[in-house]
Amino acid sequence: MSNVETPTATTADSTTAAATAQFLSPVVLGLEALVVNGKQAHWHVRGSNFVGVHELLDTIVAHAQDWADLAAERIVALGLPIDSRLSTVAGKAKETAVPAGFAPSDVIIRAVIADIDAVLVELQAAIDGLDEFDLSSQDVAIEIKRGLDKDRWFLFAHLAA
């Protein structure tokens, strides 16, 4: 028999893991909802700048999916599960202004920006809250916020005169 201890899945204590899950779980769900609503917007945008907005929405959806994965993997790496099943994300995704059908690009853009803004609020709460618990998890939230701010700016530029 060996005297070597079996390693644990994570070096994080339970308080750090719980705080990370508390602050990053809403971010994961918000980003997954942005993926769903962003695709809806992508398929139904209309107007003279259709191609630019249509393609930008695809980029925003891809980024949101990558960031949701990043945040979820941080939670799981600290030893806790994340519930992002369809029914859980659907509860978050229904809180949107993205229309069910075709809409002019300015309506679509404003709706997606509203969805992005909701995630940004959750990200800021995560950044503020994680400062006390886990700077590595806070870095994840900061990285996502930086990118989402940029995507929001690119989308907003289609509204500016």
What is the distance between the alpha carbons of residues 55 and 58, in angstroms, rounded to a whole number? 5
pLDDT greater at residue 92 or residue 110: 110
Residues 6+ away with beta carbon under 8 Å from 124: 145
- pLDDT, tens digit, 9 for 90 and up, residues 119-157: 999 999 999 999 999 999 999 999 999 999 999 999 999
End-to-end CA distance of the chain: give it in Å, rounded. Answer: 74
pLDDT at 87 over 50: yes
Q: In the numeric block, which tokens belong to residue 142? A: 């900061």
Chain-wide mean pLDDT for the chain? 92
DSSP structural state of residue 143: H
Q: Is the pLDDT of residue 95 over 90?
A: no
pLDDT tens, residue by residue, 37-64 = 999 999 999 998 999 999 999 999 999 9
Q: How confident is the model at residue 106 (pLDDT cuts 50, 70, 90)?
A: very high
Q: Could you tell me if 144 and 126 are in contact, meaning their C-beta atoms sit under 8 angstroms apart?
A: no
Supply φ then ψ for residue 3, to 5 degrees: -90, 5
98 contacts 41 by C-beta, under 8 angstroms: yes
Q: Indicate the class that CATH gives domain 14-156.
A: mainly alpha
Task: List the Cα angle 21/25/27 in 5-degree steps.
Answer: 130
pLDDT of residue 4: 63
Strand-pairing partners, residue 46, are: 104
According to the model, what pLDDT value does residue 93 have? 77
Indicate the residue type of 53.
V
- The reply to whether the predicted model has a pTM over 0.85 is yes
Is residue 143 within 8 Å of 127, Cβ to Cβ?
no
User: Picking from 13-17, 89-93, 104-108, which range would have the lowest pLDDT averaged per residue?
Assistant: 89-93
